[in-house]
């Protein structure tokens, strides 16, 4: 298809040149074909078509990879936000119900799985430059899980003390900030 477009462009250029020569004879057009000029013209046409197509395809592929990674990061943010909501709900009720306990544990399992998927995608896309950020997020996730589920979390009548909720909120904000920064860094690559 691209080859056909190139041929059509060359033929159109030749037709326009002959039309100008026929209707406007005051423009001097040389009848001799110079091999160097012809080669230069053909290479210029090839580059004019090939370079934009190649770069557009390359940029589109990179954009797609970035979009997939960013969607995974946003999914991870959403799951962490759910944990924060469940903890806030438990603090407001002044008790951790069995349903909330199971939901929080399921969310942390999902967080681990989403983080592993994100790491796999980044490795696949050769985004090794984010290893430091990923390690920080892993560390914060562990700290967050310890804060939320540490101690006697699954014990009946467990209640979050105000200090734990404050610590949970601070750690949640740190994770969210790191994930937002990771989105910006992925976008800028």
Domain ranges of the chain: 2-54, 66-188
**Residue 23 CA neighbour count, 13 Å, CB half:** 6
Question: How far apart, in whole angstroms, are the C-alpha atoms of residue 131 and residue 149?
Answer: 26
Q: Comparing 153 with 20, which gets the higher pLDDT?
A: 20
State pLDDT tens for residues 48-60. Answer: 888 887 888 877 7
DSSP letter assigned to residue 33: P
């979050």: which residue's tokens? Answer: 160
- Indicate the burial class of 35 (C-beta count within 10 angstroms; 0-12, 13-18, 19 or more): exposed
**Separation CA 27–CA 13 (nearest Å):** 16
Give 79 or 64, the one with higher predicted confidence: 79
pLDDT in tens, 22-33: 787 776 767 777
The structural architecture, per CATH, of the domain 66-188 is: Up-down Bundle (1.20)
Degrees, nearest 5: CA angle 108-111-115:
145
pLDDT 10s digits, 97-115: 888 888 998 999 999 999 9
How big is the chain by its Cα radius of gyration, in Å? Answer: 31
The pTM of this model reads 0.70
């Amino acid at each position: 298809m691209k080859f056909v477009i190139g041929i059509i462009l060359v033929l159109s250029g030749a037709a326009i040149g002959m039309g100008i020569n026929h209707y406007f004879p005051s423009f001097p057009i040389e009848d001799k074909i110079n091999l160097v000029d012809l080669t230069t013209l053909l290479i210029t046409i090839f580059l004019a078509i090939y370079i934009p197509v190649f770069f557009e395809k390359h940029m589109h592929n990179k954009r797609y990879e970035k979009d997939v990674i960013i969607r995974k990061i946003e999914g991870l943010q959403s799951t962490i936000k759910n944990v924060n909501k469940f903890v806030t709900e438990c603090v407001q009720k002044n008790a951790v119900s069995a349903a909330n306990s199971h939901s929080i544990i399921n969310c942390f399992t999902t967080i681990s799985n989403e983080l592993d998927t994100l790491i796999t995608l980044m490795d696949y896309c050769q985004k090794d430059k984010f290893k430091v950020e990923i390690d920080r997020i892993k560390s914060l996730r562990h700290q967050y899980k310890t804060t939320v589920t540490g101690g006697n979390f699954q014990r009946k009548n467990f209640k979050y003390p105000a200090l734990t909720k404050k610590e949970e909120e601070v750690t949640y904000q740190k994770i969210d900030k790191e994930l937002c920064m990771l989105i910006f860094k992925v976008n800028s690559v």
